[in-house]
């Protein structure tokens, strides 16, 4: 199975969690941790970036903002925020604005290597204690034709996906090689998140 080996679910049994996201992919992945959680959308504009920040700091900052945006007034809860971007030739790509933007992004990623970065933030309330980290996965994309890109974009799958593809969907056929966490590319690096949670809740 592609999902990372999750072994410490009992640690989370008596904890309450909130996932600051309405992403179906992140919700599905978070369920694999085996803990009870609520979903509260964060309301942060993911396409407004501080271009002065290095990419690894950018995703951590956005993950923290998402967690903080839903934290007010909460008690006895651990809030999880996450943000994912694609980095290619030092350029950052998030979710495509429209189909033309999706075609542009896929054309640039075509037949080359890019990185998927996900920032993860855990925020405890009401203490405000916070842990933030980042996961990186390298992806080698196949040489795909413009006709294939066109058909894929027309399917609608690239919309709402960082880098304009879904590795867990039809976009998988464009991937030649993956080096690192698969779940990170889907949108939530479970191996990293589990380790962060274990370290965090035991303190």
Average pLDDT across each block of 10 residues of the chain; the chain has 203 residues. List them in order.
50 82 91 88 72 88 93 90 94 93 97 97 94 97 96 95 94 96 94 89 71
Q: What are the structure tokens assigned to 112, written together?
A: 């080359």
**Beta strand ranges found along the chain (DSSP E):** 17-19, 37-39, 77-88, 91-93, 113-125, 130-141, 175-179
Helix 146-154 and helix 99-109: axis angle, to 10°? 140
pLDDT value at residue 47: 66
pLDDT value at residue 2: 41
pTM equals: 0.89
pLDDT value at residue 202: 72
- For 144, other C-beta atoms within 10 Å of its C-beta total 16
pLDDT value at residue 1: 34
The SS3 call for residue 195 is helix
Q: What are the structure tokens assigned to 30, written together?
A: 């978070």
pLDDT value at residue 190: 93
Q: What are the structure tokens assigned to 156, written together?
A: 């609608």
Query: Which positions are catalytic?
Result: 83
Phi, psi of 90 (to 5 degrees): 70, 10
The domains found in the chain, sorted by start residue, are: 9-201 (3.90.950.10)
């Amino acid at each position: 199975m592609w999902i990372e080996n999750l072994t410490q679910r009992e640690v989370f049994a008596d904890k309450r969690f909130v996932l600051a996201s309405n992403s179906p992919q992140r919700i599905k992945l978070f369920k694999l941790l085996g803990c009870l959680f609520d979903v509260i959308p964060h309301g942060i504009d993911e396409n407004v970036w501080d271009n002065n920040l290095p990419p690894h700091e950018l995703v951590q900052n956005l993950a923290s903002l998402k967690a903080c945006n839903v934290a007010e007034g909460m008690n006895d809860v651990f809030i999880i925020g996450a943000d994912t971007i694609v980095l290619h030739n030092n350029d950052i790509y998030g979710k495509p604005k429209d189909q033309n933007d999706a075609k542009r992004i896929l054309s640039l990623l075509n037949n080359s290597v890019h990185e998927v970065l996900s920032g993860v933030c855990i925020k405890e309330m009401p203490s405000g204690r916070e842990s933030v980290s980042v996961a990186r996965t390298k992806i080698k994309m196949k040489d795909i034709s413009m006709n294939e890109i066109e058909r894929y974009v027309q399917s609608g799958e690239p919309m709402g996906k960082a880098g304009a593809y879904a590795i867990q969907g039809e976009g998988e056929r464009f991937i030649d090689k993956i080096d690192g966490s698969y779940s990170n590319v889907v949108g939530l690096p479970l191996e990293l998140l589990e380790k962060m949670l274990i370290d965090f809740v035991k303190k």
